[in-house]
Structures are given as structure tokens and as C-alpha cells.
Amino acid sequence: MASADVVIIGGGITGLTAAYEAHRRGVRPIVLEASPRTGGLIATEHVDGFTIEAGPDSILAQKRAALDLVRELGLGDQILQVRPPGGAFVLSGSRLFRLPSPSRLGLPLTWRALAGYNLLPWPARVRMAMEPLVRARRSQDDESIGSFFRRRFGASTVDLIAQPLLGGIHAGDIERLSMRALFPRLLDAEQSRGRVLEMRGADAADPQQPPADVGFRSLRDGMSALVRAIEQHLPETSIRRSSPADRLERTASGWRVASGGDAFEARAVIVAAPAFVAARLFAPLDDEASRLCAEVPYVSTASVALAWPRPAIAHPLAGTGFVVARRVSDVRITACTWVSSKWTHRAPDDVALLRAFIGGAHDPGVVDLDDEEIARIARTDLQRVLGIGAAPVLTRVYRWRNAGAQHQVGQLARVAAIEGRLARHPGLLVAGSGFRSVGIPDCIADARAAAARCTIAG
């Protein structure tokens, strides 16, 4: 029987960071990862001169935890900024509409940007301009994204802004996704100022050309470079791949985790796996904690990387990509990133690398199609939208089954209840995207906090 100070269940970015932080603090970790590889949703493929992300391609700079870790691991010279962009677009009907500049989360930051918001019909622009006059909601209860946008900005913004931009980020249903969990600053603005829009002067700084501490960043060798760097800072024996956690038991001195024919004893356990895995492990220990974890829904998605010779694409691709206003557009993909326009070091010269996304809450069955059919759907949609008249020179399909945690209305209250139940079981913690974390920086911050708690508990 192997022993450690902390057993970490899950070898995604949360679990690996927790192990790194524990090891940095002199606490011996063991990571149990069910699959043959670590990294979770972070996966980079290098093929024929292309650097292709199967999962997330960037980290949010203003949440400092991720970039701080990148620099701490010695990867500071790999950090890439988004190329000087032409902005992002929304596909509405058969037309791509550029998001106004300056704007954030699809919300204009100047009156001029609102007046030129061609995605919205004029009555919708007038209604949005009236947002500061809308009375703030007194209730502190959680609210769906759809409800918030409908109430503050008018019905048209739900389908044209909220669903493609805010819902699309999470592949979710905006009538269910939580404002408090996902976009708390918008709720806080309403409560503190009585309005959300805060228009600036015409010469306001453009967030699409952000200062050094905001916007998105990537790594020159791909996001998997972060995973490799963390692993290089851990003892080789601390990561057990193809080792799913089967059972969790309380012992006199802490915890025992069974995995296959092996057992691992530790003072503490961090469950950094999906909430449905936590639900299974908690069932023999705490029915209520298990039930609450099982309530967190997940969606399945796929990403499709396609490359064409640049002259084969009629569209200039002057921007970062587009999202799809699903209710008013006749395509099945939900978004497309123009990878080679967005980042350097991603494709050979004179070749355009694109990434299309498909699936999610509104199209759950698409991941059950074979690779050829998923690729055909993405290829056909992109050829029509971007004016592409040739066959791609590269195609890759990546599936993510039950990988997207949905932070629906009530998520933060649910997590607080889970944590309340786990307080009855000293040394048992949860962390990661199934609980409080939204995106890589949050997962990293959550992981480091969990590891620190294990140190204190010891």
C-alpha cells in the first residue's frame, strides 16, 4: 500500500496544479488520473508544421493565477499575445457582423459604438441605450443569463448577443446558465451603480487592443507546454496514469483511496475530477454531498481543426473568429476561431488554420456521429460562411464527452452546500471546473488554495 500526504483524484490542470503546490510546500502528493494522459481538456497536437489545440487555446490575462504560474514555471518567454486583431464577429443569418469597438462581452462602451452596432436592429439599439433607466433588481437571488439580458437590454439582445457570446463560451443554455457564477461583475454593476452600461468618451481605450495586463494569452509551443512544465516539477512517481479512483474510505489517520488493485493512504484527498465522479465517490460517505454533486450537469462538444491554402478562402479573416447566433442562422457549428489570424506560430506560411466548434447543450447528439460526418458538417458550414471553394489540406476532429460543466442557476449555493457537507469529513476537498472554477486561471487558483488547506490541516 502506497502512502502520501495528499491523494489528488484527477490529473487535469486543477489536479496537476494542486500536486505542484503541495510539492512546493513540502507535502507529498499522488495524482490518480483515470485516462492514459494528463492535462484534462488541455491537449496540443503538433503535426506537419501546425500547432493545434484540441481544447482551450488561451488563458485570460486579467485573472493573474495562470500567468503567474506560467512565469513561475519558467515559461515566461513563451507567452504570446493575440495578434493585432480586427475584432470578433457574430454570424446572424448568412452575414458576419463585426462586434462594435470598443466593447466587452458584446456590450458597447461608447455611444458611438452603440450607434454603429449593426448586428442589432435600430429598435434594439434604442432599447439598449435605455438600459441605465431600467430599475435595478432588488433581489440578491441568482438569475439566468437570458433573464438578465432580457431585463436589462431587451429581448433582441438575448438571441443576438447573450446566446452566441456568453452562452457560446460555455456551450450552454443561457436560460439556465448562472449570472452569479459566470458573470458576477455584470450583476455587481447593476447592484452597485443601478446600471450595467457605463459609456465612455469617444476616445476611450479600445479593449480589443488591450493593455499588457488584460486580454488573452497563449503559449508558443501550445497550451500543453504548461502541463509538461508542471509535470517536470513533480517526482516521477507522483503521477499514476490509467488509474481511476474506485473507492474512498475514511481511516483512523485520514483516507484510503482504492484504484484497481492498488490502495493509497493519505491525510487528505482533493477531488479534482468532474462532479459526477465526486458524486460516485461520495455516495458511501455522504448521501447529500453525493446528491448535490450529481446535480451539476455536463455537456459534450467537439472541435474540428481545418486548414486551407490562404488563397482558397474569400473572406479576409481579419479578426479572431466568429460566434453563431443560433436561432437566426442556418449552420450547425457554434463558433469558429481563425487560429492563424489570432496567433503566431500556429500554421505554415500562406495556410489558414481554423477551428470550428460543435455540440453543447443545444446539439448534444452530434458527438455520437463518426469523425467523417462531424468534419463534413464543420467543413460545409465554413465553406458557406467564409466563401471557401477548395478541400481542406488538414482535418482533425477532437471529442469532449461530458467534459463541459454547466454552472446553472444556483451553482454557487450548491457548491457552498457541498463544501458544508464535506466540512464533516476533515481532509476531504473538491476543486476545479465542476465546482467554483470558470476557466484555466480559476482552476489554478482553486487548486493552489486546496493544496494550501491540506498543508494547514497537516
Q: Would you say the pTM of this structure is higher than 0.85? A: yes
Residues of the chain with CATH 3.90.660.20: 58-85+298-405
Residues of the chain with CATH 1.10.3110.10: 102-193
- Sequence-separated (6 or more) residues with CB below 8 Å from residue 153: 107, 127, 128, 131, 161, 196
Which residue is listed with cell 473568429? 321
Q: What is the pLDDT of residue 3?
A: 83
For 316-366, the pLDDT digits (tens) are: 999 999 999 999 999 999 999 999 999 999 999 999 999 999 999 999 999
Q: What is the pLDDT of residue 179?
A: 97
Lowest-confidence range among 82-86, 237-241, 438-442?
82-86
Is residue 124 within 8 A of residue 84, CB to CB? The reply is: no
Q: What is the pLDDT of residue 85?
A: 66
- SS3 per residue for 70-105: HHHCCCHHHEEECCCCCCEEEEECCEEEECCCCEEC
Which residue is listed with cell 440578491? 140
Architecture of the domain made up of 58-85+298-405: Alpha-Beta Complex (3.90)
Range 2-40+225-296+407-457 classified under CATH 3.30.1330.60: no
Above pLDDT 70, what percent of the chain? 96
Rounded Cα distance, 381 and 358, in Å: 11
Residues of the chain with CATH 3.50.50.60: 2-40+225-296+407-457
Tell me how long the chain is: 458
Q: Residue 355's closest CA among 392, 305, 301, 302?
A: 305
Question: Domain 102-193 belongs to what topology?
Answer: protoporphyrinogen ix oxidase, domain 3 (1.10.3110)
Q: What is the pLDDT of residue 32?
A: 99
